[in-house]
Amino acid sequence: MGRCSIRQALKFLDSHHVDPKKHSVETIGEEYNLDSEKVAKILKYFRMHTIKILEDPRQKARAARLKASETKDLPSGSADSLQPGKTNAQEPSLFWGKTDESPKSSSKD
């Protein structure tokens, strides 16, 4: 009978896994010109590897702590006060005195 490449074998293993009724032993044997007994053994003894990525519980705890510390540090008030271009009356000024004034010079004339 025929031969198949690894790529073809992986393809029919996957297609059989997805829909075993449509891609039965007989249909795979006919499509790839393989003996039905060999196809049945391939499907029985070979499996596709699957990777399952598990969540790290420590990452959830870190994210929760980070979120809690960020919300604790935010000034109280509405969300509008945090919009760019809007100032919050409760925020301290980043400049000396009021924002309209320039810094006072320390030298005397």
- Asked if 23 and 15 count as a contact pair (C-beta separation under 8 A), the reply is yes
Q: Which amino acid is at 103?
A: P
- Say if 52 falls within a structural domain: no
Residue at 98 is within a domain: no
Look up the pTM and report it: 0.44
Domain span at residue 21? 6-45
In the prediction, which pLDDT does 25 show? 94
Query: Do the domain assignments include residue 57?
Result: no
| pLDDT number for residue 50 | 76
- Selection from 38, 37, 35, 40 nearest residue 16 by Cα: 40
Low-confidence ranges of the chain (pLDDT < 50): 78, 80-81, 88, 109
The residues, ordered by sequence, that sit 6+ positions from 3 with a Cβ below 8 Å of its Cβ are 34
Looking at residue 62, its pLDDT comes to: 84
Residue 32, domain member (yes or no):
yes
**Structural domain count, the chain:** 1
Backbone phi, then psi, for 92, in 5-degree steps? -70, 150
User: What pLDDT does 58 receive?
Assistant: 82
